[in-house]
Structure 1
Amino acid sequence: MPTLTITQTLFDQIVAHARKDHPDEACGVVAGPAGTDRPERFIPMLNAARSPTFYEFDSQDLLKLYREMDDRDEEPVIIYHSHTATEAYPSRTDLSYANEPGAHYVLVSTADTDDAGPFQFRSYRIVEGEITEEDVKVVEAY
C-alpha cells in the first residue's frame, strides 16, 4: 500500500490550520524538493470561497505559489484541505480539483470534534479520477 511519510510537526500544523479555520474549510500545500516525495515546507492558503462546504485557492495566490516553488526547485508534495461536516474522503468537487497526479491529497475532518479531537487525518492519491487511500506514517524527522 502506498504511504505518506510526514513529520509530527507538519501533521500538527495541518491539523491546527483545519481547527483554526473551522467552521470554514481550510486548505494549503506542503512543498518539498522536486522528485523526493518529501513534504517539508508548510504553506497554509486562504480559502477564497470562505465556505464550510468547499474550498478554492485564490488564483493569484496559487500562481504566486507555483512560481515560488519553481524558483526553489520544489513541487507540491501534499495538497490538503478540511471537511467540516463530513468524513475525510474526497468529494466529487475535490476530484474535479485534483490535477496533481504526483501529490498526496490529505483530508482532515473537523466534523463532530471538540478542540482536543478526535479527528480524521487521511491521505489519498488521485490520478485521473481514481482515488487510492494510503497509509499515513508520522515520524519525528526524516
Structure 2
Amino acid sequence: MKKIHVQIEIINEMINHSIDENPNECCGLIGINSNQAQNVFKMSNIDKSPYRYRMDPKELLDTLTEIESDGGKLYAIYHSHTHSEAYPSATDVRIATWPDGTSVWPNVYYFLVTLQDLNKPYARAFEINDGEILEVEIVNS
C-alpha cells in the first residue's frame, strides 16, 4: 500500500472540523507549499447536509488561488461522513470523475473522516483515479 506523510495536526484539524459541523458533512482542502508544509483550508458546505457536500465555487477558486500564490499546490480534498464509514461513496467517486471517466483532480488525495462512532472518529486517505479507488496509508509525521 502506498504511504503518505501527514502531520498529526492536520489529521486532528480535519477531525475537529468534522465534529464542529456535525450533523452536516464538512469539507475542505489541504494545501502543501514548497517546503512541504501542509495547511488546512476549511470550506463551506453550501448543501448543509448530513449526506453530501458541495463547496462554494467562488470560495473554492479563491482558496486555490491563495494556495498557488504562495508557490503551493492542492494536496488533498477532505470531507466527513456523518453516518457511514470513511470510504468514498459512489457519489464521491462521481464528483471526482469527469463524464469521460478521467479524474477531476489528478494527483490529489481524498481524505474522509468518519463520525459513525463519535467516540472514535478517524480519517482515511484515498486516490480516486479515473473512477478507481485506491486506499493509501497515512503515516503521521
With normalisation by structure 2, the TM-score equals 0.89
Q: 1:103 aligns with which of 78, 100, 108?
A: 108
For residue 55 of structure 1, give the secondary structure of its aligned residue in structure 2. coil
* Structure 1 outlier segments of 4+, above 3 Å: none
- CA contact 1:27–1:80 (8 Å) conserved in 2: yes
Q: 1:32-111 to 2 correspondence within 5 Å?
A: 32-33=32-33, 38=36, 40-98=38-96, 99-111=104-116
Larger displacement relative to structure 2 (69-78 or 129-138): 69-78
Report the Cα offset of residue 68 of structure 1: 1.6
Task: State the alpha-carbon separation in 2 of the partners of residues 13 and 112 from structure 1.
Answer: 18
Task: State the alpha-carbon separation in 2 of the partners of residues 132 and 78 from structure 1.
Answer: 14
- CA contact 1:18–1:110 (8 Å) conserved in 2: yes
Q: Does 1:15 align with 2:20?
A: no
How many residues are aligned here?
134
Q: Residue 130 of structure 2 aligns with which residue?
A: 128
Task: Give the letter for the 2:124 counterpart.
Answer: R
Report the Cα offset of residue 39 of structure 1: 5.5
- CA contact 1:124–1:132 (8 Å) conserved in 2: yes
Task: State the alpha-carbon separation in 1 of the partners of residues 67 and 8 from structure 2.
Answer: 23
Q: Percent identity?
A: 30
**What CA deviation, in whole Å up to 9, does each residue of 1:59-102 have, x standing for no partner?**
11011112222212211112100000111110111112222121
Task: State the alpha-carbon separation in 1 of the partners of residues 69 and 52 from structure 2.
Answer: 30
- CA contact 1:87–1:120 (8 Å) conserved in 2: no
Task: Give the letter for the 1:63 counterpart.
Answer: L
**What CA deviation, in whole Å up to 9, does each residue of 1:42-75 have, x standing for no partner?**
1111111110000000011011112222212211
Could you tell me which runs of 5 or more consecutive residues in structure 1 were left unpaired when the two chains were aligned: none
With normalisation by structure 1, the TM-score equals 0.88
Task: Give the letter for the 1:127 counterpart.
Answer: N
RMSD: 1.4
Task: State the alpha-carbon separation in 2 of the partners of residues 41 and 119 from structure 1.
Answer: 20
